[in-house]
Amino acid sequence: MITAVAPGQGGVAIIRISGPLAEDIGKALVVVPGTQTWASHRVLYGHVIDPATKERIDEVLLLIMKAPRTFTGEDVVEIHCHGGVIIVERVLELVLAFTDVRRALPGEFSQRALLNGKRDLSSAESINELIHARSCKAAQIAMAGLDGGIQQCISSLRSRLIDQLSELDARVDFEEDLPSLDATKLVNELKSVQSDLLQLIENSHRTSLFRKGLRVALVGRPNVGKSSFLNRLSGRERAIVSDLPGTTRDLLESSLVLGGIPITLIDTAGIHATSDSLEKLGIERSFEILKGADVVLLIFDLESGWIFEDSQLLDKIPVETPKLLIGNKLDIQRSDLSGIKAINSIPHVNFSALTGEGEPELINTLLQVFNAKETTDLMVALNDRQLDLAVLAVKALERLQEAIDQKLPWDFWTIDLRLAIQNLGEITGDDLTEAVLERIFSRFCIGK
């Protein structure tokens, strides 16, 4: 790994310049020895020289790319210099000293690519999703969007709606000159588009866990093995393990990926009655975590079995929160869980945090609780902005259906149909304002 993944760490840094002055700046700053040819899409070797002092700043590679065969559609020059804060800042200072040169805004390169016709909006957003992917599956979904999967899907649905709008508009303006409208066929097509949109929305909700990840809270009585459980799944000693009850008094977090899903495990303080002020504070925080967790794993001790205090803890978990009961210390006691079989249909599994026995079954059950097994083949997923617009489009089509049911004139049908088309156009970038574009790309990282 030579690219910097943390401030000041990395063998190479890239300074990208886009615009009509890019090549002139490259030629002014980089002295290229020998007879190397300055041509598009070639890499040159040289040194960055301070024009004022003639000091050699760094040994670099220079990549020249002429429009329109570039990411932004403009002339682009990249200076590949050594990584590290000092060198990068010195080269940047020389670049920024030129007239009409400034630092790029967040996402500005991608925004220029969109405005210059090099990218559609959904694929540009997928770049940001790819950069921030927290798992291989999230990266695969982002790549599908980058390859135009979202654009093709939404454009097809929008085109079908536009076809129906043109039929309605024609009848509104020239009804006497055209054959009668096949209203049944039109309504069936609108329902089909709405059904496809609803399926896309459902799939996007299901695949969002690959992008956003899940917060999973570990709760249980003191000394049931929550910290050992955290260490086992994390693959490292993340938490202090002790036979003394109440060892964990603060929240511990560990990030991992299970079945392609980014998961943040949160080890909470053991919940029990206590007079210790620090333990009380930790227990209060544990209850707060319970309320905000996506999934709760209630860990109990197979050696002592399921007891009344475990039932009390289960009652404190919000009813709507998915949960899994884990009987720990399988290496000490093999229980048939007969004491908890009557607890509705909550999934449960036996496990040993010490030896790892039962881990494959545990992970498989966890994935079932997350509904992850039903999402592995889904590749096209909308981000939050796109999802909100898709939902608005569905609501517009629902209002359109109400107008149809009320047998209102055709021009009433077109009102919500146009709105649905506009909502889908905002997903693909066919119908956007400058303010919306700026808001979208402001969420991107600098340099992309």
Domain chopping of the chain, boundaries = 12-103, 149-207+383-441, 213-374
Contact 322, 369 (CB under 8 A): yes
Number of other CB atoms surrounding residue 49 within 10 Å: 17
Secondary structure (DSSP) of 28-71: HHEE--TT----TTEEEEEEEE-TTT--EEEEEEEEEE-TTSSS
d(CA 95, CA 84): 17
Q: Which whole number is the average pLDDT over 228-232?
A: 83
Mean pLDDT, the chain, integer = 80
Highest mean pLDDT among 228-242, 267-281, 307-321, 413-427: 413-427
pLDDT at 242 (0 to 100): 40
319-355 tens-digit pLDDT:
888 888 888 888 776 555 555 554 657 888 888 888 8
Is 3.30.420.40 the CATH classification of the domain at 12-103?
Answer: no
- Written as one letter, the residue type at 257 is V
Nearest to 60 by CA among 102, 94, 89, 31: 31
d(CA 86, CA 101): 20
Q: Which whole number is the average pLDDT over 362-388?
A: 75
Band of residue 239 on the pLDDT scale cut at 50, 70, 90: very low
pLDDT at 219 (0 to 100): 85
Contacts of 276 (CB under 8 A, 6+ apart): 246
Percent of the chain having pLDDT more than 70? 79
Contact 292, 275 (CB under 8 A): no
Omega prior to 68 cis, within 30 of 0:
yes
Give the range among 200-214, 223-237, 420-434 with minimum mean pLDDT. Answer: 223-237
**Fold (topology level) of 213-374:** Rossmann fold (3.40.50)
Which DSSP letter does residue 321 get? S
Instruction: Specify the CATH superfamily of domain 149-207+383-441.
Output: tRNA modification GTPase MnmE domain 2 (1.20.120.430)
